[in-house]
Amino acid sequence: SEAEFEVLKAFVVGMMERLHISQKRIRVALVEYHDGSHAYLELKNRKRPSELRRIASQVRYAGSQVASTSEVLKYTLFQVFGKADRPEASRIALLLTASQEPPQMARNLPRYVQGLKKKKIIVVPVGIGPHANLKQIRFIEKQAPENKAF
């Protein structure tokens, strides 16, 4: 629902306030999926932390009926971490999911999760609300010892 989305958005912005965001320290990307993946923020963005938080706080609820964890992880693998290479930096993807993924879209999930593992990207899947796919979240968690689900 839109109200739940607003709570989630406030959580993300609040988390961004606690991070020491800068080009030399922590970089953030913000990707949303609804009828295709869309990046609001990319790792290479050279903006002040307050500007990044403002952009995140202005994301609007799309109201899509379809969510795809697989497509978001694919986008994260190839577009987010594939373009900004800092080999010395830890790479962590916080995956916030609140819905079921259609089976035909989920069939490629193992391939993308393994791709993230090969690039040493830690995935932290977080299920939100009663419609989160716990089976999918547990699958992601089990793919690497660093992955932790909530």
Which pLDDT belongs to residue 111? 94
Torsion of CA 8, 90, 74, 61, to 10 degrees: 20
Question: How distant is the alpha carbon of residue 20 from its chain centre?
Answer: 19
Tens digit of pLDDT at every position of the chain (150 positions): 778 788 888 888 888 888 888 878 888 888 877 666 777 777 777 888 888 888 888 888 877 666 788 888 998 888 888 876 677 778 888 888 887 887 888 889 999 999 999 988 899 998 888 888 899 999 999 998 888 888
CATH architecture of 2-142: 3-Layer(aba) Sandwich (3.40)
Residue 66, pLDDT score: 67
- Residue 123 is inside which H or E element, if any? strand 121-127
| Residue whose entry in the numeric block shows the structure tokens 């790479």 | 91
Instruction: Note the pLDDT of residue 112.
Output: 94
Name beta bridge partners: 32. 38
Predicted local distance difference test score (pLDDT) of residue 45: 76
Ranges of each domain in the chain = 2-142
- Note the pLDDT of residue 117: 93
Residues 6 or more apart whose CB falls under 8 angstroms from that of 89 comprise: 27
